[in-house]
Structure 1
Amino acid sequence: MWEPKRAYVAAAALGLVLLLGWGLKHYFYRPVEVLPVAPAVEPEGRIGVTLLVHVAGAVERPGVYQLPAGSRVKDALDQAGPLPTADPHALNLAQVLVDGQKIVVPTKSSGEQGGEPRNPFMSSPTLSSGTKVNLNTASEAELQTLPGIGPTLARRIVEYRSKNGPFSSVDELAKVPGIGARRLEQLRDYICAP
């Protein structure tokens, strides 16, 4: 008779432990309402988020300008005041600015009439002046003055430089996606990597 009584006590104790464990679990592990957290970085265009952009070249007031996030190249040029000899249409005026960007406003090439858009493959301030574009210091806008280099390739060159460090030679440009040996040969006379 002693054995069954002991079994009942053990079963009751086990039941009590399980019931207590279940109660504690539900007490301490209650679902908690999770409230959405505001993002740490404010979205573009909101007041308080600013960019510093360097505007140089054919402008009345070259320098560093503070602009709200979401601003475009056109907004920076409006601040700096393009000169009458400037060719702002050589730039992508709708391009969204990034912090630390440098915008170099070129001048109109001689022989153009009425500010017609120029063909970047035919002439550019860099190509006509005889100076070479330094692959290690050129901005995306400066790279776009090179023959066959549009916004996408200019961005890839800058990204490659940011990721891998300065170009050690002009030949290293062939490692940038989209620039093969043929394009490198077309650019060789217009670029340098000191």
Structure 2
Amino acid sequence: MGRLRAWLYVRCGLEFKTVLALAVVAAVAGGLAFHHYWSGRPRTVPVPPPVTAPAEAPRAMASPEPRLVIDIVGKVTKPGLRHLPKGARVADALAAAGGPLPGTDTTALNLARLLTDGEQILVGLLPPAAAGPQGTTSDPSSPATPLSLNSATAAQLDALPGVGPVLAQHILDFRTQHGGFTSLRQLRQIPGIGDRKFTTLKPLVHP
């Protein structure tokens, strides 16, 4: 140890304590440099999970689709009331009732006609205006047996006083285009029916 001190003093002009102090300072500086390097090294940064947007408040429930209540009577598999969507036709009502019974004549029905709410469909039966008290055919012009504009056939309309086949077809066309009659006043919208003819027909028919 004495020789090392003498050598340091002769060669470097430094005392052993000074060299020891310098070594300590160098060690501390090295430690700080290593710490700085270690702290500044590139590191993998975890990606935060995506933020989930808050759930939207439930929208108000859509208003229910308009429904029609139809009374289907006569020679069908399941007669009675049926609830059908707006825009349904006579053919849809027959299907909802299970279809006509075998052998039933449906030629008097316009299967393509649009239905109206509260309508009654007679399948294989004469309408009230065409049936007498014992089921026999009566005069459709009789005021005691008004004819339904929504279920009458062309022949029944033709038999009304002052109607004829051309005007009967106009009535059927109006019924198909507008989905049926809801008021007797709608007859005034049909070409060929003036005030006088409307007055004649008013007690003989109903929607």
Larger radius of gyration: 2
Normalized against structure 1, the TM-score is what? 0.43
Normalized against structure 2, the TM-score is what? 0.41
